[in-house]
Amino acid sequence: MMNNQTQQKTQLDEPGGSVGLYDAIGRLAKDMNDMLMKQQAIESQVKTASEDLPFVTGQLSDLNRFTEEETHKILEFTETVLNNHDLLSAKLKSLETDIHFPDRSSFGDRLSEMNGLIKENKKVLMDILTGLSFQDLAGQRLKRMDVVLQELQARILKLVVTYGMEKRGEDLAVSKQRALLNELESSTGSKKMGQNQVNDILKEFGF
């Protein structure tokens, strides 16, 4: 016959007993902790991505404004050079006409004016060169922002793949899961993903 201690232990081990309840609470606490850790991981990655977006947006706004300003300057400088070119052509033509006349007293003044136009053109051409140098710097900043956007895209896609795999369970082969994550890990700089690859990943997870 079962003694009281053995009978009490058996009751505690049953689903409705105290030990069964304790185990259920322990499993529930572990599941909740896992969920919270996953949520914190998601929040951290989303926070990082959110912090990068204002940087890129601000950089693009500044770059757009600076590029517009420099473009207008280059257009104005070019117009000045063209106008000076027309004036020089007219003065040279005038000299060619007047050179046959005995009175050449005004030649010195006109040559001085032409020399002034040539000097002004040189200054304007230097300003154009400066403006074009800025365009080169703008291109470098665009490349930098392109890298930031690539990294941001990779982080977001990693979230899609990681938590999409959990949602789909066994539906997606483990080898393919790892291949997708490895592809995203190396998708920066010159190894950036093509648009078709991005579309395929999004399509794979129903987006």
pLDDT tens for each residue of 144-198: 777 777 777 777 777 777 776 666 555 566 667 677 777 776 665 556 667 777 7
Range of the domain at 193: 55-204
Which pLDDT score, from 0 to 100, does residue 73 have?
A: 82
Which pLDDT score, from 0 to 100, does residue 77 have?
A: 85
Helix residue ranges, H only, 99-173? 107-168
Residue 95 lies in a domain: yes
Residue 1 lies in a domain: no
Residue 123 lies in a domain: yes
| Neighbouring residues of 11: CB distance < 8 A, sequence distance ≥ 6 | 17
For residues 65 and 73, what is the distance between their CA atoms, to the nearest angstrom? 13
| Neighbouring residues of 38: CB distance < 8 A, sequence distance ≥ 6 | 163
Residue 195 lies in a domain: yes
Residue 16 lies in a domain: no
For residues 179 and 181, what is the distance between their CA atoms, to the nearest angstrom? 6
Which pLDDT score, from 0 to 100, does residue 21 have?
A: 65
Which residues of the chain, if any, have pLDDT below 50? Answer: 1-2, 4, 6-12
Residue 152 lies in a domain: yes
Q: Is the pTM of this model over 0.95?
A: no
Which pLDDT score, from 0 to 100, does residue 183 have?
A: 73
Residue 33 lies in a domain: no
Burial of 180 (0-12, 13-18, 19+ CB in 10 A): buried
Question: Within 13 A of 157's CA, how many CA atoms are on the CB side?
Answer: 27
What is the number of domains present in the chain?
Answer: 1
Residue 106 lies in a domain: yes
Query: What amino acid occupies position 207?
Result: F
**Of the candidates 167, 180, 148, which has an alpha carbon nearest to the alpha carbon of residue 54?**
148
